[in-house]
Amino acid sequence: MASSESKPFFSISLFQLAIANAFALSSAVYIAAGVSGGHVNPAVTFGMAVGGHISVPTALFYWLSQMLASVFASLILRVMTVSQRVPAYAIAEEMTGFGASMLEGLLTFVLVYTVYAFSDPRRGPFGAIGPLVIGLTAGAGVLAVGPFSGGSMNPACAFGSAVIAGKFKNQAVYWVGPLIGAAVAGLVYDNVVFPPDDAAESIRGVSDGDGV
């Protein structure tokens, strides 16, 4: 997004933005899934921790890594585009903070539920299709609510861009909604839809499957 003093190098449509998000996320998840679970999203990490699939210390370490990575990525963008400002997530004028948070929470619920479904070993291996579906789910979210709240579904993305842009207005929207949505998704999947076969399943330090 261009600043008032400069014009943007190019403009893209909402559809192009959604496609870029979908495939970028799919690639990140595919690359990191076998190493760390491929969370790349504090909401996914929180949902996995609530469901008992990663330990609290591991979740906190993931959070720190995700926050630092987001700030660093936004900083690189700022340096590479000298005449441009880093765009921060913002809600539409017609939206309230509560409404935007509800939208982000709903989308994050769907996203984290998808992560649970494709990382559940009881449903068999999904291979490369898992990261692709996770990415497409995020892309669909951007298409659905991009004009209203930005379709972040990822507190780290909102945080990093806000730090570099110096704009923290409505930042809570991108934390409260997604974290609640992620927690509900984990609880619903593991306790209502597909309860674990072994209630005494131990907490694992690293997620067994795909993440976001």
pLDDT of 1 strictly over 70: no
Instruction: Give 138: exposed, middle or buried? Use CB within 10 Å, 0-12, 13-18, 19+.
Output: buried
- What confidence tier does 86 reach under pLDDT thresholds 50, 70, 90? confident
- Provide the pLDDT for residue 148: 93
Give tens-digit pLDDT for 140-178.
999 999 899 999 999 999 999 999 988 888 899 999 999
The DSSP-derived string for 89-113 is ----TT--HHHHHHHHHHHHHHHHH
pLDDT of 109 strictly over 60: yes
Residue keyed to tokens 């979908």: 22
Give tens-digit pLDDT for 118-146.
888 777 666 678 889 999 999 999 999 98
Residue keyed to tokens 């495939």: 23
Rounded CA separation 97/105 (Å) = 12
Rounded CA separation 48/39 (Å) = 9
pTM, full prediction: 0.83
Q: Which two tokens stand for residue 77?
A: 């963008």
| Average pLDDT of span 10-25 | 85
pLDDT of 44 strictly over 90: yes
- What confidence tier does 84 reach under pLDDT thresholds 50, 70, 90? confident
What are the boundaries of each domain within the chain? 14-28+36-79+103-193
Fold adopted by 14-28+36-79+103-193? Glycerol uptake facilitator protein (1.20.1080)
Rounded CA separation 43/37 (Å) = 13
